[in-house]
Chains A and B, each alone.
Chain A
């Protein structure tokens, strides 16, 4: 969908800071080929995207709205929950237990995009695309057959809705920085941890855990933002060119999200034939299939704990937005 050409004109240099790590497939398989290479080639060199990752820019991810707002980057991508300290409504797009499968997550994302932009544009930033990471699932160093067996275990989590979610299962949420999680799992500082199927494999968690659930707790939904002032200043032809490129990024990221979710699991359990995106685990893990009881419990926890927690933190207005936009899709209402 990146247009085949762009009329000649003055050169435009775009600074884009996307994805946490330069090794992630979201970066190597989407951002680099589309944003850096295709945009450069098809615009005849008129648009140059200077692409880098959070790690290369020494950023933690929580400050990305401010990065875009201050004009340090024209385009930036970050997971929505990490941004929710600055813009609380973003948390509501990706609550724990909200979307049991990726199609639902995408419908929620598309419905919420214009709504969250009403909040974001007050700060001079606009979300252009919301996209997923591989499904966030539970990795444990001891066997479990159902999430209910997490009771009493220490689970490494991040973000408020996951803390509420695991507390409701009777587990004990622990917060540890991502680089320390490997050794924390290895030595039993924590019993379980949640992350994307592919991210867990990439971080070599199969070496230190034995069982992985296939129940998507959330999708680590993330978004590409642009600086509104910069966007409005752009030559209209350049603007629609970049807009088309971002639409392609959107489609490719959702395809990748779906493929990488299953691929991460296959790599983790040693299914070499299906493991193409990530690297195969040396010590195959056991996949724990989600039970019907688990799915029912997840829905109940969403309704009784996670959603009220979100409304409490974000305010009554967020509850109304949720009921208007998301409730029709998932069938769960806030405060009802």
Chain B
């Protein structure tokens, strides 16, 4: 069916899916980031509270779960922003066609690893359900809750990889390797600079106001 459609439409559809997923991933990453801010406040409250004889007695467990959530929920966004680390010193010197194929290969291998992680995470949740497992903190949190939230983040990462792979494969098939390179290629110096300057700008901008 899709083969009958004009080629750019299929690509546009894939692009729409990818940008949509990336937008959702960004929302998740902001939540992950704010979760760290909450984590800092929570630990601070516990340290201060301890001086006055009050402690949640679950800080270690809860903040551990917050870290797990933060890591998992940031994975997809980091991929969309091309932040995950690759050894790409050699790849970037290859001709565009070959480079594009290798980008896709790298993404598919990452997909394989991510799928394994997601499967393991689901199996872990399943096992915790079987055990009806709780942690040893005062709150006795059922482990399926934090582990389920964590697993959701890893699943979102898999979806992000899938959408990217779909668009990349289409670009390659349609003979547009430069678009693939833009999606997966190394972050250029301009990207890095723009990011650093944005942060410095904020520092300076604050002074002007």
Contact = CB atoms under 8 A, between A and B. Distances in A.
Specify whether A and B are partners: yes
Interface of A: 62, 65-66, 81-82, 84-88, 123, 152, 154, 158-160, 163, 172-177, 313
Contact of B138 (A66, A82, A86, A160): A160
B133 interface: yes
Contacts of A313: 134, 140
Given A86-B133, A123-B130, A152 B50 contact: no
A62 B136 contact: yes
Contact of A123 (B59, B131, B136, B143): B131
Given A85-B134, A123-B130, A123-B131, A177 B60 contact: yes
Contacts of A173: 55, 57
B53 interface: yes
A152 B55 contact: no
Nearest to A160: B136
B136 A85 contact: yes
Contacts of B55: 172-174
A16 to B, nearest CB: 22
Contacts of B57: 163, 173, 175
User: Lowest 5 CB-CB distances: which A-B pairs, in order?
Assistant: A86-B131, A86-B133, A175-B60, A85-B136, A85-B134
Contact of B134 (A81, A88, A159, A176): A88
Contacts of B143: 85
Contacts of B198: none
Contact of A174 (B50, B127, B131, B133): B50
Interface in B130-167: 130-131, 133-138, 140, 143
17 contacts: A65-B131, A66-B127, A84-B136, A85-B133, A85-B134, A85-B136, A88-B134, A158-B136, A160-B138, A172-B50, A172-B55, A174-B50, A174-B55, A175-B137, A177-B60, A313-B134, A313-B140
A303 to B, nearest CB: 21
Choose among A81, A82, A87, A175 the residue with the greatest number of B CB atoms under 10 Å from its CB.
A175
Interface of B: 50, 53, 55, 57, 59-60, 127, 130-131, 133-138, 140, 143
Contacts of A82: 136
B42 to A, nearest CB: 14
Contact of B53 (A86, A152, A159, A176): A152
A131 to B, nearest CB: 21
A14 B89 CA distance: 45
B147 to A, nearest CB: 12
A313 to B, nearest CB: 6
B136 A159 contact: yes
Contacts of A84: 136
Contacts of A172: 50, 53, 55
Contacts of B127: 66
A85 B135 contact: yes
Contacts of B131: 65, 86-87, 123
A163 B135 contact: no
Contacts of B59: 175
Nearest to B52: A172
Contact of B50 (A85, A154, A163): A154
Contacts of A174: 50, 55
A123 B128 CA distance: 11
A273 B98 CA distance: 75
Given A85-B135, A174-B50, 18 more contacts: A65-B131, A66-B127, A81-B136, A84-B136, A85-B133, A85-B134, A85-B136, A85-B143, A123-B131, A154-B50, A159-B136, A160-B136, A160-B138, A163-B138, A172-B50, A175-B57, A176-B60, A177-B60
B145 to A, nearest CB: 13
Choose among B53, B133, B136, B140 the residue with the greatest number of A CB atoms under 10 Å from its CB.
B136
Nearest to B141: A85
A70 to B, nearest CB: 8
Contacts of A176: 60
A82 B136 CA distance: 7
Contacts of A66: 127
A25 to B, nearest CB: 26
Contacts of A159: 136
Choose among B50, B57, B130, B143 the residue with the greatest number of A CB atoms under 10 Å from its CB.
B57
Contacts of B53: 152, 172
A81 B134 CA distance: 12
A154 B52 CA distance: 11
Contacts of A87: 131
